[in-house]
Structure 1
Amino acid sequence: MSYCNAVENMTGDRRALHKAYHDFLYGFPIHDDNELFGRLILEINQAGLSWETILKKEQAFRNAYDNYDIKKIAAYTENDRERLLADAGIIRNRLKINATIENAKTIQKLQKEYGSFEKWLEHHHPLSKEEWVKLFKKTFKFTGGEIVNEFLMSIGYLPGAHDADCKIYHEILKTEPLWAQTGN
């Protein structure tokens, strides 16, 4: 069952939580580096857990990680690592926390070389899913196939976020996602 159909079959608060993400965020291009990084943080933290768990904790992640500010996160100290490990509002996994901090440092390097994280992504587009996964594994920490696939679908670089008969699919097409521009 696709995410589109699954959301439509949910009820109550659960449906409201997923519908807000599905209708307004999932698959739409992001042009702010901090927000792009925030989405990557969420995808990394989702590994082994349900997306619903991450959606429920999104505001706590945003608060814990300084509104996804790349510069601030790259400068985190051991005290910040310990603070994050003690924060019950987020996923307290040392590997994921360390990956987030190291990935912020990597993104700073990409920003210096390419002008922005977004421009680094654009520079490599279009790639197949397999090529993207290889590039991300070489560049970032804690980025496997599902993390990379979901991250890129969620920001409009790979197709598949929505079914073609989903009304949001047609809204996303209006934003000219990169996957639609290359005919993927």
Structure 2
Amino acid sequence: MTRNLIRCEWVGSDDRYKKYHDEEWGKPVYDDKKLFEFLLLEGFQAGLSWITVLKKRENFRKAFDNFDYNKIARYTSSKFESLLLNPGIIRNKLKIYSAPINAQKFINVQNEFVSFNNYLWNFVDTPICNHWKSIKEVPASTKLSDCISKDLKKRGFKFVGTTIIYAFLQAVGVVNDHTLICSFHPINQ
């Protein structure tokens, strides 16, 4: 018998959103390639809804070489031009131009910490599990996202403001913000 799932209020009815919520959001990620994917996508999401990015995720995957940060770090001007003309992605010039910068800075962090995973998870001992009753209680940023955002900016990353970084932390499971009524909150598992 399949139980009736109760999801966080933000999910809505789109099947992609449900799948993302159920299978990815809030689950700890330790793989550098996946971490870069979310960092890139969260930067593109700035000022837009996540569903907009989610609907274009596969187009982003194709356009950005399967989120291979080593390739993205070496993008040429002709690659930029093709990305600016690609209707399958968000064609914001500043966001597109930030991708190779962030890829280069990502590699720098890997060189310093052995992996971006080590860098990121060094900020917390274990994933933070919040106990929000409602989505209205979930903050847009925290002291943790402020700290990581400030450090990433100091390292030269772009589109890493505290709100973007908090969404990133939620996406990669550093922070679990499933609400208490959600079937995916650890108390309901």
Q: Could you tell me the TM-score, scaled by structure 2's length?
A: 0.80
- In proportion to residue count, which structure has more helix? 1
Question: Higher relative contact order at CA 8 Å, sep ≥6: structure 1 or structure 2?
Answer: 2
1:151 aligns with 168
Q: Could you tell me the TM-score, scaled by structure 1's length?
A: 0.82
Does residue 119 of structure 1 match 2:102?
Answer: no
- Looking at structure 2, the residues matched to 32 and 83 of structure 1 have their Cα atoms a distance apart, in angstroms, of 28
- Looking at structure 2, the residues matched to 130 and 93 of structure 1 have their Cα atoms a distance apart, in angstroms, of 25
- Whichever residue aligns with residue 26 of structure 1, its letter is W
Q: Which ranges in structure 2 are unaligned for 5 or more consecutive residues? A: 1-6, 126-142
| 1:136 CA displacement | 2.5
Q: RMSD of aligned C-alpha atoms?
A: 2.0
Distance 1:85 1:98, change over 3 A: same
1:132 aligns with 148
1:38 aligns with 37
Does residue 170 of structure 1 match 2:186?
Answer: yes
SS in 2 for 1:4: coil
- Looking at structure 2, the residues matched to 115 and 133 of structure 1 have their Cα atoms a distance apart, in angstroms, of 20
The total of aligned residue pairs comes to 165
- Looking at structure 1, the residues matched to 28 and 111 of structure 2 have their Cα atoms a distance apart, in angstroms, of 22
- Whichever residue aligns with residue 119 of structure 1, its letter is N
- Whichever residue aligns with residue 153 of structure 2, its letter is K
| 1:132 CA displacement | 2.0
Deviations 1:118-140 (A, max 9, x none): 11112333672321222232231
Question: How much identity, in percent, do the aligned residues show?
Answer: 41
Q: Check conservation: 1:66, 1:73, Cα contact below 8 A.
A: yes
